[in-house]
Chain A
Amino acid sequence: MQTEIVVIGSGVAATALITKILAERPNTSITVLEAGGKIKLRDWALFQNYLITNKLPFDNQNIYDSCHDLSYPDRDKPGENKFEGDTEIPMVGARAFLYGGSTVHWGGWSFRLKPEDFQLRTSLKNKGIAPGDVIDWPFGYEEMEPYYHEAEHFIGVSGDSEDTTTPRSGKYPFPAFPFTLEDGLFIDAFKKFTEPVSYSHLPIARYGDTHANNSHGPCHTTGLCKYCPFGARFAAANNLDDLVQSARYPHLQILTNAIADEILMDSKTHATGVKYLNQKNGAWETIHANIIINAAGAIEGAKLLQRSALDRWKNGIGNDYDLVGRFLITHPYFFYKAVLPANPQMLQPEMGFPTLVSRYYDSPAEQHKGKFILVNPPSSPKVNLARSMSNGKTRDEIIKSIQTNTTVQLQGLIEVFSDRRNRVVNSEKKNRFGMRETKIDFYKSGDFDNRMKEVEAITKTIFGHMNAVDPGIENAISWRADHAACTTRMSNSPEEGVVNPDLKVHGTSNIYMCSNAVFSSLGAVNPTLTLTALSLRLGSHLLNQLKA
């Protein structure tokens, strides 16, 4: 099979890129190889089932149990993948192997990085701190700004256009969700600091994009919508459907259950195609292409390079400096709680997603210690009405239990820095999808626990300002691989990273990485808006190339 561009993976990175290229060159022949299968979206019966059972269509023990890693092996259960190092990075639930990739079950938090995030190394050096393995991005915020704007419109972000947290040249496509009554507690507490803690509306990809050329409906409601029956919430699978079903793009094809195993090359620099396992018939097949886009995610993307073209690159493509898979970063996610002794207003989280965020600590002043954000989370309310009713509680009993007291929570993401020891590699074993399992080595930095003590002290003060008592940790820190990044990081030179500023693998002429793997550093916020902006930027670059 021959195609102009082969894209490995069908997540948001692939989808944004393809959309951009096809908009300008509708006849481009593009083939997408997707390891997973397709699940049904936009189905009211499935949504009702989710509403009643709390089981997503792709959840465990469901007929669609086909797209998640299993937990690590333990005594009683078979598992997948291995971890070493001092800190476990759980993979279960942290990505989805399916048509449309992980945004089928993401949260939609859509932040821009801040200008200083692009200069982490410089900033550490200016503070007199040894930057270690940390590097700057090869370009700054001003280069990214137009693509951020484009990305916000592509994934349909609702946000506050007056928010000055990051400089912006245009408005969000949709207005922000108003703060909830419960947010008011946090806002009042933030204001009580000597230097008030700033806050803003959390930008979230929720509204269907009504003005673009796709079939997304507008967001109707404010339910818990990990699974949107209307296709309003951005999930790359819906956008892919729009492309595939459009008669305008006759040479786009998406092969599901096709696992890319190796990128093939006819010289050290030039790739010719991809060898993949067609899971539908069990056969090894090859697709030839002029341009190879590796959009398989930060973990699988790096692993694919490591196992490719070993006759020309001893340790895998782009890996002469043994950097592919290294510098793995993910976001530690922290959870604190306290108790409001009385709750006459019956405050409970009223929506399934957050509306309030503080990026006060996501600032240059905190950068050298690891920036963080604070969110009033979309947590489960103390009293679950459905459960209370099912358990036979009367209306009066339920109301009394809500008014007695309530738990308030603060959650957040904190930035950690590159460390050469942290990496992903292939293991020999294959998982139940037929893909090579992953081995992860991860060490948290020596000062991490102290940093968390500082964060805890700040959250305690906030709880104190709201007269909440018994502050404490709600859950142990989650190091889940949801935001895995930096494994083929972008750099000006091959000694420091794996891809160049155009996302092309150093030392190759036609292999591009398009995933969180290319981040030079991760920042304190969720990565996907930045990833989408990078994909659109890559789209512009490739269109220029194709024209030439």
Chain B
Amino acid sequence: MSKYNLEARYFVLENLRKLDDTLLDTLWQLFVRICKFWQTTETPEAMKSDFLIFISNRIEMDIRYLAEYVNYGDVIQELTDELGEEAAFQKLFTDAAANITPAFTNLARAKQLVVNELIALNLSLGGFKTFGNPAIAQGVPINYPGYIGGMNRRDHTPYRKKAD
């Protein structure tokens, strides 16, 4: 069968798909910061390959994400130069101005199309598990609708069960 008859993948030129390593690392640092700020996991490295697939899928689905990621890189650089690293992330995560709609500032675009999406990804990869007070949840993961909760094997139910 000729190739043009095959089910289409996303149309993206191979060279455009490649984020440069520095930018990719900047995005990964953001993901790690999310884990720390909300204490969702102590081992973000375990999520790294999922993170990388996510970034590449976003760009494959919509090439404009490349521009969003570049914008994020510029924004965090500027914030860090101005406020220092700690305060830069604090502002990015908590400043209400970053959530204005429509997102017409560079800060708002960075927050809404990059930071907020990585927050959702973080939860979906199991970040929700440690959310909440483990003493109250008795160390059992708290699942959360909309997010993948781990393998549903008989010996491991990824939500809190009613005791029999």
Contact A48 B93 (CB under 8 A): no
Contact B146 A346 (CB under 8 A): no
**Contact A389 B119, CB 8 Å, known A180-B159, A224-B145, A352-B146:** yes
Tell whether B16 is near chain A: CB-to-CB under 8 Å: no
21 A–B contacts, CB within 8 A, in A order: A46-B61, A48-B121, A49-B61, A175-B154, A178-B162, A179-B162, A180-B159, A180-B160, A220-B151, A223-B124, A224-B145, A346-B142, A380-B145, A381-B145, A385-B144, A389-B119, A389-B123, A390-B119, A390-B120, A391-B99, A392-B93
Chain B 2-41: CB-based contact to A (< 8 A → 1; otherwise 0): 0000010010000000000000000000000010011100
- In the complex, residue of chain B having the shortest beta-carbon distance to the beta carbon of A353: B145
Contact A220 B93 (CB under 8 A): no
Q: Which of A2-10, A282-290, A394-402 contacts B (4 or more CB under 8 A)?
A: A394-402
Q: Which of B83-113 contact A (CB under 8 A)?
A: 93-96, 98-99
Give Cα distance in the complex from A51 to B126, angstroms: 13
Q: Which of A215-267 contact B (CB under 8 A)?
A: 219-224
Tell whether A349 is near chain B: CB-to-CB under 8 Å: yes
A residues contacting B by CB (< 8 A) are 40, 44-46, 48-49, 51-52, 54, 175, 177-181, 183-184, 187, 219-224, 344-346, 348-352, 378, 380-381, 385-386, 389-392, 394-395, 398-399, 402
Nearest CB of A to B38, in Å: 5
- In the complex, residue of chain A having the shortest beta-carbon distance to the beta carbon of B141: A350
**Contact A385 B131, CB 8 Å, known A178-B157, A221-B148, A348-B144:** yes
Contact A179 B39 (CB under 8 A): no
Contact B136 A346 (CB under 8 A): yes
Contact A184 B146 (CB under 8 A): no
- In the complex, residue of chain B having the shortest beta-carbon distance to the beta carbon of A218: B152
Contact A224 B159 (CB under 8 A): no
Chain B residues within 8 Å of A187, by CB: 162
Chain A residues within 8 Å of B77, by CB: none
Q: Which of B135-164 contact A (CB under 8 A)?
A: 136-137, 142-152, 154, 157-163
- In the complex, residue of chain A having the shortest beta-carbon distance to the beta carbon of B149: A222
Contact B96 A392 (CB under 8 A): yes
Other A-B contacts than A48-B121, A350-B149, A392-B93, 11 sampled, CB-CB below 8 A, are: A175-B154, A181-B161, A220-B151, A222-B159, A350-B159, A351-B149, A352-B145, A352-B146, A389-B34, A389-B123, A394-B38
Nearest CB of A to B29, in Å: 17
Give Cα distance in the complex from A390 to B115, angstroms: 8
Query: What is the number of residues of chain B that contact chain A, defined by CB distance less than 8 Å?
Result: 51
Interface of chain A: mostly helix, strand, loop or mixed:
loop
Contact B162 A183 (CB under 8 A): yes
**Contact A45 B149, CB 8 Å, known A385-B123, A385-B144, A398-B131:** no
Give Cα distance in the complex from A402 to B142, angstroms: 12
Contact B121 A51 (CB under 8 A): yes
- In the complex, residue of chain B having the shortest beta-carbon distance to the beta carbon of A349: B145
Q: Which of B26-66 contact A (CB under 8 A)?
A: 34, 37-39, 53-54, 57-58, 60-61
Nearest CB of A to B131, in Å: 6
Contact A385 B161 (CB under 8 A): no
Contact of B60 among A45, A181, A389 (CB under 8 A): A45
**Contact A52 B121, CB 8 Å, known A45-B61, A351-B143, A392-B94:** yes
Give Cα distance in the complex from A183 to B120, angstroms: 26
Contact A344 B145 (CB under 8 A): no
- Please give me the 4 A-B residue pairs with the lowest Cβ-Cβ distance, nearest first: A392-B94, A350-B159, A45-B57, A181-B160
Give Cα distance in the complex from A383 to B91, angstroms: 23
Chain A residues within 8 Å of B162, by CB: 178-181, 183-184, 187
- In the complex, residue of chain B having the shortest beta-carbon distance to the beta carbon of A225: B148
- In the complex, residue of chain B having the shortest beta-carbon distance to the beta carbon of A183: B162
Give Cα distance in the complex from A197 to B145, angstroms: 27
Chain A residues within 8 Å of B148, by CB: 51, 220-221, 223
Tell whether B78 is near chain A: CB-to-CB under 8 Å: no
Contact B61 A390 (CB under 8 A): no
Give Cα distance in the complex from A406 to B144, angstroms: 15
Query: Could you say which of A51, A187, A220, A389 has the most chain B C-beta atoms within 10 Å of its C-beta?
Result: A389
Give Cα distance in the complex from A49 to B137, angstroms: 30
Contact A351 B93 (CB under 8 A): no
Contact B152 A52 (CB under 8 A): no
Contact B123 A221 (CB under 8 A): no
Give Cα distance in the complex from A392 to B38, angstroms: 10
- In the complex, residue of chain A having the shortest beta-carbon distance to the beta carbon of B93: A392
- In the complex, residue of chain A having the shortest beta-carbon distance to the beta carbon of B91: A392
Give Cα distance in the complex from A184 to B161, angstroms: 9
- In the complex, residue of chain B having the shortest beta-carbon distance to the beta carbon of A391: B99
Give Cα distance in the complex from A224 to B54, angstroms: 19
Tell whether B71 is near chain A: CB-to-CB under 8 Å: no
Chain B residues within 8 Å of A220, by CB: 148, 151-152
Give Cα distance in the complex from A345 to B161, angstroms: 12
Give Cα distance in the complex from A386 to B121, angstroms: 9
Chain A residues within 8 Å of B151, by CB: 220-221
Nearest CB of B to A132, in Å: 42
Chain B residues within 8 Å of A181, by CB: 159-162
Chain B residues within 8 Å of A385, by CB: 123, 128, 131, 144
**Contact A222 B57, CB 8 Å, known A180-B160, A180-B162, A399-B132:** no
Chain B residues within 8 Å of A345, by CB: 136-137
Nearest CB of A to B59, in Å: 10
Nearest CB of B to A328, in Å: 33
Give Cα distance in the complex from A178 to B53, angstroms: 32
Give Cα distance in the complex from A179 to B123, angstroms: 23
- In the complex, residue of chain A having the shortest beta-carbon distance to the beta carbon of B10: A45
Nearest CB of A to B7, in Å: 7
Chain A residues within 8 Å of B38, by CB: 389, 394-395, 398
